[in-house]
Amino acid sequence: MSTQTLTVRVAQVLVFLVWLVLWQLAASRQWLDPVLAKTPGQSWEYLVSAAQSGELWTNMRYTMFAVVIAWVVASAVGVVVGLALGLLPGVERVLSPYLDAANAMPRIALAPLFIVAFGINTSAKVALASTLVFFIVMSGARAGVRSTDAEWLRLSTVLGANKYQIFLKVLFPVATPAIFAALRLGLIYSLLGVVGSELISARNGLGQLVATYSATFQMEAVYAILLLLAVIAVVLNQLMGLAERRLLRWQPPVDQ
């Protein structure tokens, strides 16, 4: 580990500790409303008890299952559609206004529609999260293809490359970094979409726990679950970053 990396890690730990101290002070000195003033210790006690009872792991499993399914399905469709739009500019010009309008629509407003259509189950969560992931991945793939240098395309044509070779050897490698960046962001938005759907209506999941405990003013449990969701998001982001670095080793390193 380099000195710079070690310094960053130490700074991150210090920021976390300062945040915990401020949280403790805000709760113990009643800087907030008494209903909201719960200490880190109380949230930790809930996490321990919920983990021992199985409540935490069961609901986290339901949430993460929906997150992975939505991300995989929407990412696959988004990559295909994005690459197709990037390769077919005429079709893109026709569909662009409709895609922009659909992307601008607040997806959380569609949650009741998905719940009515699919029921209060995993399908509704996957449907809502997929609408978020699809547009992110599609936009990344389309932008990646369109970022290809025109000189490379002309040179490939002059050298006798056919359309399949141009796509496989030029367009797709150029678009790959943008696709991975979109996949990385899409995974986080998949988590947000699933939890958002669970907050509105669900039989299980971490979002459903947040909604239940919020309704009964058990804020220590709410804080604990929100922190767990933040940790999950960080872990997912780090895993995607690691996969990106491993699979894109052929790319030049980014200057720090």
Q: What is the pLDDT of residue 194?
A: 93
Residue 70 has pLDDT above 90, yes or no: yes
First vs last C-alpha separation in the chain: 15
User: How far is 250 from 242, CA to CA, in rounded Å?
Assistant: 14
Question: What are the pLDDT digits (tens) for 17-54?
Answer: 998 898 888 888 877 777 788 888 999 999 999 999 99
Across all residues in the chain, what is the average pLDDT? 86
- Give residue 8's pLDDT: 85
**Scanning the structure block, which residue is given the tokens 């899409």?**
186
User: For residue 89, what pLDDT is reported?
Assistant: 82
Q: Are 189 and 138 in contact (CB under 8 A)?
A: no
Averaged pLDDT for residues 53-81:
94
In this prediction, residues 84-91 reach a mean pLDDT of 85
The pair of structure tokens assigned to 94 is 């026709």
Q: Does residue 255 register a pLDDT over 60?
A: no
Interval 140-162: pLDDT, tens = 999 888 887 777 777 777 777 77
**58: confidence class by pLDDT, cuts 50, 70, 90:** very high
Question: Angle formed by the axes of helices 40-53 and 55-87, to 10°?
Answer: 90
pLDDT greater than 70 at residue 166: yes
Note the pLDDT tens digit of each residue in 194-218.
999 999 888 889 999 999 999 998 9
Burial 7-37 (b: 16+ CB within 10 A, else e): eeeeeeeeeeeeeeeebeeebeeeeeeeeeb
Band of the pLDDT at 188, cuts 50, 70, 90?
A: very high
